Amino acid sequence: MPAHQLPDDLLDGRVVFLSGGGSGVNLGIARVLADLGADLSLYGRTASRLDEAAEELRGRGARVVTTAGDVRSAEQVAHAFERTEAGLGPVDGVVCGAAGNFVAPAESISSNGFRAVVDIDLLGSFHCAHAAFGQLTRTRGSVLFVTGAQSAGAFAHQSHVGAAKAGVDQLMRTLAVEWGPHGIRSNSLLPGPVHDTEGMRRLAEGGSAPWTDSVPLGRFADAEEVGRMAAVLLSPLAAYVTGTVVHIDGGLALSGPALVNRTVLAPAPRV
């Protein structure tokens, strides 16, 4: 039995599609899924990054298909699901993890900038779930959205991300209701700060202390800790779990964004 105590055949023969699977939290999830027997389809914008990730995951025993494309294109996403089924079989799980972020005050974000993030996070998640539906009805599988602390807490300079992530969580709930009768589960995983991710490099540019101090457990997560929770939610262990946001944030939601916001925002003039 591996150190994390999950049975190492938990996902044997299951096929999981991951958008954004070539890096960051999503690659951490992919590593754990591979260790538990899953075969993987990685989708992302950068072919070289996908190839590198695929080689590593094959070394962990997974069969891996990669497709380069943008989640903002419904056609490209649909094509990736066709390739997945042809290469590995119909998907049992979909991790909608592709995301975009930059840190900027709302008043300086252009219409195109706001739209870029909403399109990647929200529309892109919809595209993946939508394209997976036919395969998921056959496997009675599940969708797992990766959202973030910005979905529930109001983090400064994250208006675009907060709007997109809150939309993703509500999409998740609606799909749980609509697709439950098809045997398809829909859940969100809400990570707090995670080591070695592009998102946290951007968010904690001014230092990680306010993030660590906001987390009751007092540290960042490793991507593979997030991966273990993803594996549980995608597996039969969570057969009766749907419509839920699972926080894997060390308790950040309890402290909220106040400390982070204080360091992000310049002192506001008092009137």
Q: Does 80 bind ligand COA (CB under 6 A)?
A: no
Query: Whole-angstrom Cα distance, residue 255 to residue 259?
Result: 9
Query: Whole-angstrom Cα distance, residue 216 to residue 224?
Result: 20
Rounded to whole angstroms, what are the CA distances from 268 to 32, 102, 109, 181, 263?
44, 22, 19, 51, 12
Closest-approach residue to ligand COA (CB): 100
- Give bridge partners of residue 42 from the DSSP assignment: 18, 66
Nearest to 230 by CA among 66, 40, 65: 40
Q: Does 193 bind ligand COA (CB under 6 A)?
A: no
User: Among the candidate windows 77-85, 103-111, 224-232, 247-255, which touches ligand COA by CB under 6 A?
Assistant: 103-111
3-state secondary structure of 155: coil
Q: Which helix or strand (DSSP H or E) is residue 75 part of?
A: helix 74-88
Window 196-225: contact mask with ligand COA (x via CB under 6 A): --xx--------------------------
Q: Does 102 bind ligand COA (CB under 6 A)?
A: yes
Q: What's the angle, vertex CA 56, arms to CA 51 and CA 57, rounded to 5?
A: 95
Q: What's CA 195's distance to the chain center, in Å?
A: 15
Residue 199 or 210: the one with the smaller Cβ distance to ligand COA is 199
CB of 229 to ligand COA, least distance (A): 18
Window 104-143: contact mask with ligand COA (x via CB under 6 A): x----xx-xx--xx--x-----------------------
Residues of this chain that interact with ligand COA (CB under 6 A) are 99-102, 104, 109-110, 112-113, 116-117, 120, 198-199
